[in-house]
Structure 1
Amino acid sequence: MAKKKNKITGKNLKIAKNYANHGASKQKVVFKGLDDTLKSVNTDLGKEVKKTLMARSRELWMGSPLATGALKKLRTSVIGSGLRLKSSVDNSILELSISEKKEIENKIEKIWKLWAETTECDVERTSNFYQIQQLAFLTSLIDGECFALLPFKKRVGEIFELKIQLIESERCMTPPEKANDPRVKNGVELDSENCPTAYWFCDDPYSITKKKYRRVEAFGQKTGRRNVLMILEKERIGQQRGVPILAPVIESLLQLGRYTHSELTAAVVSSYFTVFLENDKDLGGTGFGEPISDSEEKDHSEKNIEMGPGVITELPAGMKINLANPTRPNTAFDGFVKAMAIQIGAALELPHDVLLNKFDSSYSASRAALLEAWKMYRMRRAWIIADFCNPIFREFMDEAVAKGFIEAPGYFENPLVRQAYLNCKWYGATQGQIDPLKEVTAAKVRLETGLSTKSREIMELYGDDYNEVIAQREIEKEEGNA
C-alpha cells in the first residue's frame, strides 16, 4: 500500500513563517506602535530632524553633567593636547640614504611646527592647530559633523597663506531656490554618483531678514584640491550629514538629569531644620479678646512661609503645618544612576567605570575597562587623522614645497613621489598606566623579543617623539660628564 503524503498543516505553516513569527510578527502586542516603514537616509535625517537632534544635543552638553563628562572624556582621550606630526617618508620609493631620510623628516617637522604651533594657521588668528583639532572633534561629537574650509589668505608678517576655517553645522543648509532640486540634499550638492560636488553655507542662519548663501565647491575644478573637509561618522550608505553621538541616549540623559535634580532638591529640602510657632488666636480676635484689625488680617494673609536652615517662623492664626517625611537621601539613588550609566556607556562605547571616573574594582577589571575604552579612542583618532589631519598636512606640504621651504625633487611631477613625502604618523595622549612597573616590564619584553620598536614604545607609553627623547638624553649625558 502506498504511503500517504504528509499534509502541511496550519501548525507547520506557522513554523515555516520563521522571522514572521518572531521579530517580523505583525500580531504580537510587543510590536504595537513600532514603526515598520523603511525610509531613506535623507528622510531619517531630514532638515528638521537634524536641527532637532543638534539643538537637544547642545542642550545636554550645556546642562547634563553626565553628557558633558562623556564628551569631554572623548575629547581629552582622543585628542588630548593635540595629535602631533611624525614625518615618515617612504624610502622604498625615494631611495634615500638613512641620513638623508632623517634630515628631510626633521626639516618637514620643523617647518610644520612654524605653522601649526602658532595662530597663523587659524583664519580667526585665535587658536593653533592643536586647539583647532580639539574644537573640530568636539563639534563633530555634539553636532554630528564639523566642516572646515581651507582658504589661502596672505597677511603681513606671516610665512604661510594656508588657513583653517571651521564652520558650524547649522550653516550648511539648502537655499530656498534649491529646495526642489533633487541634487541638493540638506545643504549638500551631489552628482549622479552621490558624490558631494559642493556645499551651500548660510552666512547667518539665525537672521530674520533675507539670508545670504554661498556655494563652495568640494574640490577645485583645475587642481582637484580639497576645498571643504567634513568630519563625520557615517552610519548608513549614502549618508551626507552626521548624527550627534548623543542621539541614541538623549531621552535617557534628559530623564536621568531630571531624576537627579529632583533627588537633589528633595535632599536639600529635607536637610532644612525649621521651627514653626503656631498661633492659637481665634480667627475672630486676639488672645485678649480684642478684634483683629484689617491691617493685621492683611499681614497674616500675605505672610510668606519659607523653610530654611535654622529658621524660626510664626504661623498665622488658624494655620498648621503638616510635613511629609521625604526619607532622603534615597539609598537606591547611587545604584540606579550606576545602572543607567552602564546602558548609556554601552551606547557611547564607554565602560561605566570610565564614564563615571570611578575605578573601585580590581586591577584587572579597571585595566579591562580602560583597554575597552581605548579601542574606541584609537578608532576615532584614526578617523580624525584621515578626515582632518592628513588632508591639511597635504595642503601645507604643497605650499611649503612650492615656496621652496622644503626641497622635495619630483614632488609635483610624480604622484608617487609626492605621496612618499606625505607619508607620516600622528601621535597623541596615551592611555595611562595603572601599574607603571608592569607596563614598563611588558615593554621591555616586547623589545627583547623583537615584537616592537623603541620609537613605538615611547609613543605608546608617554606620547613622546623618539628622536626628541634621544636628543635630550645625549644632552643630559654631556652635562653629566662635564
Structure 2
Amino acid sequence: MFIQDIFKKSQKTKMRIESHIEPQAYSGSYSLWDYFSGEKDYFAMDSGKEYNVNYYSMATRAYNLYQTNEFVKAGVDRIVQFLVGTGLELYPTPKEDFLKRKYGIELKDSFKKDIKDLWVLYCTEKEVSADKQNDIHQLAKNIAFNAVVGGDVLIIRRVVNGYNEYQLVDGRNVYSSKTLNSDTGNKIKNGVEVDKNGRHVAYYVLDDDGKEQRIKAFDDNGNLYAWLAYTNKIRIGSTRGYSILGAIMQKMDKIGDYTENEVLASALNGKFVATIDQDATSTGVNPLNNKTLGGASKVLPELSKEKFEDKTLIDKIYTQLRRFTNGLVLHMPRGQKLQSYDTKRPNVNFGVFLDANMKYDYASMGLPYEVVLMVFQNNFSASRASLKMFEAILKFTRKYLCIDGFYKLAYEQFFDLEVLKGNLEAPKYIELRNKPGYADNAYLLAKFEGMPIPHIDPVKEVNAVVTKLKNGLVDFEGALQELGSKTNFETLYKSYSEQIKKLHESGISLQGITPDNEKDEDDNNDR
C-alpha cells in the first residue's frame, strides 16, 4: 500500500512538471526519474556535494605539504622558477601613432629607452619593499610562490618619500569574523569587503595581536592601494583564490606516506633479519645469550667507577664491538636453525605505481612529468613538444598572476611617479590620466617577457627563429625575445656592430649557425 501511494504521488508530480519539460530529440518512455544529471544508471552516483572552500585550512595544509612532501616541493618549485625566474623583462609599447593622430603628441625617439633604463634602475632598489629586503623581482617571486601554494597574496602599496613601497601579506591573515560592515552595508566575504556589484573595497588583516585592521582597496583619489594576486579563482562571486594543490592534496599526502614507508622498509630489509626455528630436540637455549655484543657484555660489569679509566678494558670493549660490526659467527645449539626472514620489501612495482600516479597529479598542476624531474628520455620531437606545451601553460599563468597581479600595476604606479617627478617626458599624460576613460593606456601599454624554457637543441631553435625572420613572420625585437635575450635590438645592433668591426680589423671571423639543409643525429632518431 505504501509503494502504491508513492507511485500515485510521483504520477501527480509528473503531471505538474510535464509542461515544463524541454523538447527532447528522443521521445521514448518517460518517468519522474528521467531528468539527466550526469547519472546514466539509477543510484550509480551520490547526490553530489556542494563544497564551500575553507581557504585557510586548505592554504595551511598546502604549506605543510610543501615543507614535508618532496613531490609537492618539486612541482611548486618548478612552476615558480619558470614563472618569474630572475625577473620579467619590460618592453614598453606605447601607442605612438595613436597619440600623434588623436592628440597631436609626438614622443621623443628615446622615450621607450628612457622608460626601460629608469625601470632597470628601479628594479635594483630594495627600498620598494616594506622590509627593505627585496627588489621588484624578488617581490614578484614571493608573490608567485605564495599565490601558487596558498591561493592568493594581499599586496599593499604606499607612497613613502616620493617612492612606491609594497608590503606583502599572507592570504591566511586576510580574515574577518564579521560578515557585514554596518557602516557601509557592504558584505564581508572571507576577509574581503565587497560592494553591491562585487567590487573589492577593503581588506581585513589580522595583526600580530590578533586585531582586525581594515585596509582600503583605493585611496581617496581612486588610486589602487591594495589588491589580491591570485593563481586560482574559479567560482563566480568568490573573493579568494585557492591553492592549485587542492584537488591532489590528499592524494599527494598519501603518496608521501607510502614513499616514506617504502624507504623505511628498504632500510630495514638492508639489515640482517632472522628467526630461530626449533624442533623437538631443541633445549630452548638462546644462542645469542651474552653474545649480542661479541663478548663485550662480559667486560661491561667490570667497568666500575674505579676501573672506568682503565684503558685496557676500554680497548677490549672497542675490539669486541668492532668484531661484532664486521660479522658474528654463532654455534647453533642442537635442534635449532637460523632462518633468514624476507620482508618482500621494497615493492618491486613501487616505481611503476609512482610514475603512473604522479603524471596525472603534475598534469593537474600544469606540469609535464619530464619537466618536473628534469629528465628527458624521449626523442627530440617528443621532448620538445612537452617543453613547448609547458611554455604555453606558463604564459597563461604568468599573464594572469605575475603580470596582471603585480608587474603591470607596479609599472603603472612607477610610470605615474616618474612623470610627476619630471624624469619622463609624457605630454598630456596627467590630463589623460585624470579624465574618465582609458586613453591614458596609450602611454602605459607594455609587454613583460619571462625566462624562456631551456632548449634541448639550441641550434635548432635558433634556426627556427631565423627562418621566421627571413620570411617576415617576426621582427628582430621579437626574435630576440623568443630566444630569451634580455638585450633589445638597438643595444644589440650597436654593440654587435662595434665588436664585429674590431674582429674584422683583427682578422678574426666567426662561423655562422648550422645551415638549414644540414642533418644531425636527432633528425634520424625522430624517424
Please give the range of the TM-score, normalised by the shorter of the 2 chains. 0.7 to 0.9
Give the conservation status (yes or no) of the 8 Å contact 1:217–1:227.
Answer: yes
Is residue 187 of structure 2 the alignment partner of residue 183 of structure 1? yes
In the alignment, what sits opposite 1:24?
A: 39
Q: Percent identity at matched positions?
A: 23
In the alignment, what sits opposite 2:470?
A: 448
Cα distance change of structure 1 residues 278 and 380 upon mapping to structure 2, 3 Å threshold: same
Q: Secondary structure at the match of 1:12?
A: coil
Is residue 226 of structure 2 the alignment partner of residue 228 of structure 1? yes
Cα distance change of structure 1 residues 271 and 200 upon mapping to structure 2, 3 Å threshold: same
Give the conservation status (yes or no) of the 8 Å contact 1:140–1:244.
Answer: yes
Code of the residue aligned with 2:42 in structure 1: it is Q
Give the conservation status (yes or no) of the 8 Å contact 1:118–1:128.
Answer: yes
Q: 1:132 aligns with which of 116, 139, 144?
A: 139
Q: Structure 1 stretches of 5 or more lacking a match? A: 1-9, 155-159, 288-294, 300-307
| 1:187-336 → structure 2 map (5 Å cutoff) | 187-204=191-208, 211-221=210-220, 223-232=221-230, 233-273=232-272, 310=326, 312=328, 324-336=341-353
In the alignment, what sits opposite 2:491?
A: 468
Code of the residue aligned with 1:224 in structure 2: it is G
Give the conservation status (yes or no) of the 8 Å contact 1:429–1:462.
Answer: yes
2: CA distance, partners of 1:446 / 1:174: 54
Paired residues, what number?
432
Q: 1:391 aligns with which of 409, 412, 420?
A: 409
Q: 2:80 aligns with which of 75, 79, 95?
A: 75
1:38 to partner: Cα distance: 4.5
1:163 to partner: Cα distance: 0.7
In the alignment, what sits opposite 1:3?
A: none
2: CA distance, partners of 1:341 / 1:471: 49
Q: Secondary structure at the match of 1:184?
A: strand
Give the conservation status (yes or no) of the 8 Å contact 1:60–1:254.
Answer: yes
Q: 2:99 aligns with which of 94, 111, 129?
A: 94
2: CA distance, partners of 1:111 / 1:146: 27
Q: 2:129 aligns with which of 94, 99, 122?
A: 122
Cα distance change of structure 1 residues 471 and 312 upon mapping to structure 2, 3 Å threshold: farther
Cα distance change of structure 1 residues 240 and 176 upon mapping to structure 2, 3 Å threshold: closer
1: CA distance, partners of 2:439 / 2:110: 17
In the alignment, what sits opposite 1:290?
A: none
1:150 to partner: Cα distance: 0.6
Give the conservation status (yes or no) of the 8 Å contact 2:180–2:188.
Answer: yes
Cα distance change of structure 1 residues 237 and 313 upon mapping to structure 2, 3 Å threshold: farther
In the alignment, what sits opposite 1:401?
A: 419
1:177 to partner: Cα distance: 8.7
Give the conservation status (yes or no) of the 8 Å contact 2:98–2:442.
Answer: yes
In the alignment, what sits opposite 1:163?
A: 165
Alignment TM-score, normalising by the size of structure 2 = 0.74
1:229 to partner: Cα distance: 2.4
Q: 1:364 aligns with which of 364, 381, 385?
A: 381
Larger deviation: 368-377 or 11-20? 11-20
Cα distance change of structure 1 residues 120 and 182 upon mapping to structure 2, 3 Å threshold: closer
**CA RMSD, 1 decimal:** 3.5
2: CA distance, partners of 1:364 / 1:243: 35
1:185 to partner: Cα distance: 1.0
1:78 to partner: Cα distance: 1.4
2: CA distance, partners of 1:11 / 1:417: 59
Cα distance change of structure 1 residues 310 and 99 upon mapping to structure 2, 3 Å threshold: farther
1:16 to partner: Cα distance: 8.9
Q: Structure 2 stretches of 5 or more lacking a match? A: 1-26, 290-296, 302-323, 507-527
Give the conservation status (yes or no) of the 8 Å contact 1:119–1:126.
Answer: yes
Alignment TM-score, normalising by the size of structure 1 = 0.80
1:71 to partner: Cα distance: 0.6
Cα distance change of structure 1 residues 333 and 431 upon mapping to structure 2, 3 Å threshold: same
In the alignment, what sits opposite 1:157?
A: none
